[in-house]
Amino acid sequence: MSSNLKKLWGGRFSETTDPLMEAFNESLSFDKAFYKADIIGSKAYVKGIEKVGILTSDEAKVLSDGLDKVLEEWETGKFEIKMGDEDIHTANERRLGELVGKVAGKLHTGRSRNDQTVTDFRIWMREKLKELSTILKELIEVILVRAETEIDVLLPGYTHLQRAQPIRFSHLLLSYGFLFQADYDRLQELYKRVNLCPLGSGALAGNPFKVDREYLASLLEFDGVVQNSITGVSDRDFVAEFLFWCSLVMTHISRLSEDFIIYSSAEFGFVTLSDAYSTGSSIMPQKKNPDSLELLRGKAGRVFGNMSGFMMTYKGTPSSYNKDLQEDKEPVFDSHTTIYSSLKIVAAVIATMKINSKNTHAALTDDLLATDLADYLVRKGLPFRDAHHVSGSAVNLCEAKNVQLSQLSLSDLQSLHPLFTDDVSNIWNFTQCVENRSSTGGTSKSSVLAQIDTLRAWLKK
């Protein structure tokens, strides 16, 4: 007798499956992560088919109690995986049969692994989205605390990796805080699309036993049902969205990491990472490497690779369910594990790093005030394009004389334009420079504190 006869689908086959194919086909090694979701979905389905008379109340109780025992075995580490357990669904149903007997065979009435697996996936994912939402808020809170603490620290802001204008360190941190806020909001939008119930779609054509899908959805705390049964079993857009979301968050984390890798170098010395998130060199005793940040930067590529790999699989699948879709889970599991730990690590790095304010202030040079010099002339009535040209000429003169802007004499400046007077000396003040940027979103103290208040109010919601 063929071993296939023991499989859920074995009646059609007369030849034994090649062991290589057995290994190639199985998914229990990774989809066992769905063990709890699979039990939750099956218990709801028991009630669904009891409601339409497929099960008696006694049979429903036997199945429900049996499923509880299967869950307990998973939770306590006592569940025994056996040969022939292709996936989590097969394993759970096999064990249920061992516990309650033939009545277990009624559980799959009208249900397919096609709608079962995607139901499990959605249940699992929505719980992970809740966890990630909490961790994201914790990261934003860490950023807010550091932004409040370092509110008076100034440093050069950069464009093109060239020193541009003075900013508050808090302003830089908050720029990432608002990116992570947007990531949080995107996650809530994704949750809405994840939290729809495909159970009751059958293999593709729907359920032939008039199972109440809205009832199943309410039992499983879904917001509604997937309205088309083919869509129900084959839609993995929520997987693609999750992988994109992970890729975008990791992009933000990678950019932040790149900033602080640079700032922690001896050439900058703006920040010092905690020893807890640094490593040394196997040959150079003096080294303190920002490996936590480098790993975060590197893992962004890994997560993006998961997304692009899945998309290449997904794009080629025709309508309804195809076994290609078994490839949806491992990239999600890996990306989830990576994003979960990455969010934790980046929060810890930010919370524990030291800001070297003496070095950040020492890096503030007069050339960062060139725009303010132009603005001075604008306030005197000169069009900005003309003022920009005059300020550029002043910078050129500094280079020729090998001096800083503040070291140019009044006569030097007046040789460039007669609008310069004694009050030009007020320009050479970095604190005043940042305080001039007081509009919404600017780097003045009042603007930065307003940004902190905005994010705090959002967190309290």
Domain ranges of the chain: 3-106, 113-160+167-362, 366-460
Q: Which residues contact 267 (CB under 8 A, 6 or more apart)?
A: none
CA-wise closest residue to 394 among 378, 372, 379, 363: 372
Residues listed for the chain: 461
- Write the DSSP assignment of 75-138 as a string of letters: HTT-----TT--SHHHHHHHHHHHHH-GGGGGTTTT--HHHHHHHHHHHHHHHHHHHHHHHHHH
Half-sphere CA count of 183, side-chain side, radius 13 A:
29
Q: Give the least confident one: 24-28, 182-186, 236-240, 310-314.
A: 24-28
Indicate if 366-460 has the same CATH topology as 3-106.
Answer: no
Say what the pLDDT of residue 178 is: 98
Say what the pLDDT of residue 454 is: 98
**Residue 162, SS3 per DSSP:** strand
CATH code given to domain 113-160+167-362:
1.20.200.10
Q: Is the pLDDT of residue 324 over 50?
A: yes
Euclidean distance between CA atoms 434 and 275, whole angstroms: 33
CATH code given to domain 3-106:
1.10.275.10
Integer angstrom CA distances of residue 73 from 36, 92, 95, 96, 137 = 11, 10, 10, 11, 34
CB 349 within 8 Å of CB 293: yes
Amino acid at 317: T
| Residue 5 banded pLDDT, cuts 50, 70, 90 | very low
Say what the pLDDT of residue 186 is: 98
Euclidean distance between CA atoms 415 and 254, whole angstroms: 47
Q: Round the average pLDDT of the chain to a whole number and report it.
A: 94
- Catalytic residues, by residue number, are 160, 281
For strands 271-272 and 224-225, give the pairing: unpaired
Q: Is the pLDDT of residue 245 over 50?
A: yes
Give tens-digit pLDDT for 191-215.
999 999 999 999 999 999 999 999 9
Euclidean distance between CA atoms 75 and 82, whole angstroms: 17
Euclidean distance between CA atoms 190 and 130, whole angstroms: 11
Say what the pLDDT of residue 6 is: 55
How is residue 153 written in tokens?
């620290």
Provide the 10 A C-beta neighbour count for residue 417: 17
Give tens-digit pLDDT for 100-136.
999 999 999 999 999 999 999 999 999 999 999 999 9
Average pLDDT over residues 15-27: 75
Select the CATH number that applies to the domain covering 366-460 from these four: 1.10.40.30, 3.30.230.10, 2.60.40.10, 3.40.50.1000: 1.10.40.30
Q: Is the pLDDT of residue 322 over 70?
A: yes
| Residue 146 banded pLDDT, cuts 50, 70, 90 | very high
How is residue 132 written in tokens?
């990630």
Say what the pLDDT of residue 10 is: 53
Give tens-digit pLDDT for 56-75.
999 999 999 999 999 999 99
Say what the pLDDT of residue 2 is: 42
Give tens-digit pLDDT for 407-434.
999 999 999 999 999 999 999 999 999 9
Say what the pLDDT of residue 8 is: 56
Q: Phi first, then psi: what are they for 154, rounded to 5°?
A: -105, 150
Q: Is the pLDDT of residue 262 over 50?
A: yes
Say what the pLDDT of residue 387 is: 96
**pLDDT top residue among 456 and 21:** 456
How is residue 155 written in tokens?
């440093």
Average pLDDT over residues 357-385: 96
